Amino acid sequence: MHTSAHIGVTGLAVMGRNLARNLARHGYAVAIHNRTPQRTRDLATGCANEGTFVPVESAKEMVAALERPRRLIVMVQAGQATDDVIAEYTPLLEAGDVIVDGGNAHFADTRRREAALRQAGIHFLGAGISGGEEGALNGPSIMPGGSSHAYDLLAPVLNDIAATTPEGTPAVAHLGPDGAGHFVKMVHNGIEYADMQLIAEAYHLIRHTTGYEPQRIAEIFREWNRGRLNSYLVEITAEVLAHRDADTGLPFIDVIADTAEQKGTGRWTVQTALDLGVPVSGIAEAVFARSTSGHATLRAAGSALPGPAPTILGEDDAARFIGQVEQALYASKVIAYAQGIHQIQAASRTYAWNVDLAAVAAVWRAGCIIRASFLDRVRESYTARPDLPSLLADPGFACEIGTAQLPWRLVVSRATRDGVPVPAFAAALTHYDTLRTPRLPAALTQAQRDYFGAHTYRRNDRPGVYHTRWDSDRSEQPIT
């Protein structure tokens, strides 16, 4: 087969298929391959009017079809399947060619793959792609990590197919070497978990406390989406709540089983945060909330436990409460984004990635699931102060959350009094209070550790590390 394609895509499930169509729509001749040949043929014939597709049936044919340096995008299941595809292509490719993993790979796998392929002279990009099937087709947010040279070979293509930010720039940026891109995408998904859980808690609180039907609550979310909570997730929440089930006529939300599934990126975010020693309590509670929703036996065992009787607010009190929920939701969302960005900061230092946090915020403003209008301000904050230790150290956000803290506390208090679970709201508020508390009870925790395990401690009044002889005269011994 003669060279005829600008770029290749292997793996034509929903995301791979739509990404290939996106490339073709932008004038690229796309070599396409799937382990099921019929899927390849279906795309080539069914979407022929969208551009040029070059169907191939093997890795050897794919490599022969691509112009040099070859650019191949892998869109298969993360894990062993990705390793298998890379192993199949590596002997066929030549020095200077580029493989792009566009799946939700674990960043540690991306680091391993990049290092191995570098030894073979093959460039590797781990590109986080967000936006779902619609984004893949019409413009996703793209978060690539890898060598600068590899990125330069792909940048024109990625710029063409990415979503467009409000000022007209593509929602794509080179975020650093090896696994930086997939790490940022992982944290994006962790924030997504938290954001979705917070929105769900806001809905649940309003419905429980006001007795409003979902269609009426949909109007509240539509109103919020016209203000500072403007975001893709708030927008689609209004659409979901307004929808009625065609078969039963009931609110659509009431016919869906209350079990939220997950594919693992949120869990990875929490596991990695634990490894880095970074607090992402809001994201963790969102992951645990999904886990709890799926434990039917556990929930059935707890269903008979006693709790407070529900109370319904009158119209005036309901309107006031809804305003308080808006404050709590906004403040908690800022906390979730702040925790995720802090995790990226910590990883960037650990792995020497030098991630530009302003660029991260810019990439997240379009195409991705967590796109939100306040990300413009996040970008501005980190542009002005690249070393900002926390989003909460930005005066503008600090002022807003300070204003929101009283209604936020009232919402969490009301939820606790009425027995409505709000794990993400409560975790976000606790994080806020932990950061602003001048002296934490961690001093007692460390003293206990020294007591039972001789783990030592530091003092406030002088340098050094110490241990108290708890089992004898309780004298203090300097260790260093």
- 3-class SS string, 272-330: HHHHHCCCCHHHHHHHHHHHHHCCHHHHHHHCCCCCCCCCCCCHHHHHHHHHHHHHHHH
| Residue 367 in domain | yes
**In this structure, what token pair is assigned to residue 69?**
């340096």
Query: Do residues 117 and 197 both lie within one domain?
Result: no
Which carries the bigger pLDDT value, residue 311 or residue 127? 127
Residue 225 near residue 231 (C-beta atoms within 8 A): yes
| Residue 1 in domain | no
pLDDT of residue 393: 95
Mean pLDDT calculated for residue range 78-91: 94
| Residue 347 in domain | yes
Of 436, 451, 466, which residue is a domain's last? Answer: 436
What are the DSSP calls for 52-74, one per residue?
-EEE-SSHHHHHHHBPSSPEEEE
Q: For residue 150, give the 3-state DSSP assignment.
A: helix
Query: Do residues 341 and 312 both lie within one domain?
Result: yes
Q: Catalogue the long-range contacts made by 20-24 (C-beta closer than 8 Å, 24 or more residues apart).
A: 20/53, 21/47, 21/50, 21/51, 21/137, 22/136, 22/137, 22/138, 22/139, 22/161, 23/51, 23/157, 23/161, 24/50, 24/51, 24/52, 24/53
Q: For residue 385, give the 3-state DSSP assignment.
A: coil
Mean pLDDT calculated for residue range 148-160: 95
Q: For residue 240, give the 3-state DSSP assignment.
A: helix
Model confidence at 309, in pLDDT bands (50, 70, 90)?
confident
pLDDT of residue 216: 97
Query: Do residues 154 and 249 both lie within one domain?
Result: no
Query: Do residues 206 and 148 both lie within one domain?
Result: no
**Pairwise CA distance, residues 126 & 128, whole Å:** 7
H helices of 169-264, where?
A: 180-210, 214-224, 232-242, 252-255
Work out whether strand 53-55 and strand 30-33 pair parallel, antiparallel, or are unpaired: parallel
Taking only the tens place, the pLDDT of each residue in 230-243 is 999 999 999 999 99
Could you tell me the CATH number of the domain that includes residue 298? 1.10.1040.10
Mean pLDDT of the chain, nearest integer? 95
Query: Do residues 55 and 160 both lie within one domain?
Result: yes
Model confidence at 311, in pLDDT bands (50, 70, 90)?
confident
- The domain of 465 spans 442-478
Model confidence at 259, in pLDDT bands (50, 70, 90)?
confident
pLDDT of residue 260: 86
Residue 224 near residue 214 (C-beta atoms within 8 A): no
Peptide bond into 69 cis (omega under 30): yes
**Pairwise CA distance, residues 231 & 372, whole Å:** 4
Model confidence at 3, in pLDDT bands (50, 70, 90)?
low
H helices of 310-437, where?
A: 315-351, 357-363, 375-384, 395-418, 423-436
Residue 224 near residue 326 (C-beta atoms within 8 A): yes
Query: What phi-psi label fits residue 131: left (phi over 0), alpha (psi between -120 and 50 degrees) or beta?
Result: left
pLDDT at 187 over 60: yes
Question: 252 to each of 21, 217, 248, 421, how far by Cα in Å?
Answer: 32, 13, 9, 22
Query: Do residues 347 and 331 both lie within one domain?
Result: yes
| Residue 469 in domain | yes
The number of beta carbons lying within 10 Å of the beta carbon of residue 233 is 19
Q: What percent of the chain has pLDDT over 70?
A: 99
Provide CB contacts within 8 A for 404, sequence distance 6+. 327, 328, 330, 331
| Residue 37 in domain | yes
| Residue 2 in domain | no
**Pairwise CA distance, residues 460 & 446, whole Å:** 13
Provide CB contacts within 8 A for 458, sequence distance 6+. 464, 465, 466
Of 178, 207, 239, which residue is a domain's last? Answer: 178
Active site residues: 185, 192
Query: Do residues 153 and 273 both lie within one domain?
Result: no
Taking only the tens place, the pLDDT of each residue in 34-53 is 999 999 999 999 999 999 99
Q: What percent of the chain has pLDDT over 90?
A: 95
**Pairwise CA distance, residues 217 & 277, whole Å:** 39
Query: Do residues 448 and 386 both lie within one domain?
Result: no
pLDDT at 2 over 70: no
Q: Kindly tell me the burial class for residue 438, based on how many C-beta atoms sit within 10 Å of its own C-beta (0-12, 13-18, 19 or more).
A: exposed
For residue 74, which of 3, 11, 139, 20 has the smallest C-alpha distance?
11
Query: Do residues 460 and 403 both lie within one domain?
Result: no
DSSP-assigned beta bridge partners for residue 100: 73, 125
For residue 59, which of 38, 82, 93, 89 has the smallest C-alpha distance?
89
Unique residue bearing structure tokens 């709590």:
328
pLDDT at 345 over 50: yes
Query: Do residues 172 and 189 both lie within one domain?
Result: no
pLDDT of residue 166: 87
Q: For residue 76, give the 3-state DSSP assignment.
A: coil
Unique residue bearing structure tokens 């298969």:
76
Unique residue bearing structure tokens 């969208």:
50
**In this structure, what token pair is assigned to residue 329?**
């939701």
Query: What phi-psi label fits residue 146: left (phi over 0), alpha (psi between -120 and 50 degrees) or beta?
Result: left
Mean pLDDT calculated for residue range 177-182: 96
Query: Do residues 67 and 147 both lie within one domain?
Result: yes
**In this structure, what token pair is assigned to residue 458?**
């530091």
pLDDT at 1 over 50: no
pLDDT of residue 407: 98
| Residue 157 in domain | yes
Unique residue bearing structure tokens 């990009």:
125
Could you tell me the CATH number of the domain that includes residue 101? 3.40.50.720
Unique residue bearing structure tokens 């939300």:
253
| Residue 138 in domain | yes
Could you tell me the CATH number of the domain that includes residue 466? 1.20.5.320
Task: Kindly list the strands in the beta sheet with 71-74, ordered across the sheet, starting from the edge strand earlier in the chain.
Answer: 53-55, 30-33, 7-10, 71-74, 98-101, 123-130, 141-146
pLDDT at 318 over 60: yes
Work out whether strand 53-55 and strand 476-478 pair parallel, antiparallel, or are unpaired: unpaired
pLDDT of residue 208: 95
Taking only the tens place, the pLDDT of each residue in 161-173 is 999 998 899 999 9
pLDDT of residue 262: 81
Residue 458 near residue 466 (C-beta atoms within 8 A): yes
Unique residue bearing structure tokens 């192993």:
87
| Overall domain count for the chain | 3
**Pairwise CA distance, residues 133 & 140, whole Å:** 9
Query: Do residues 447 and 350 both lie within one domain?
Result: no
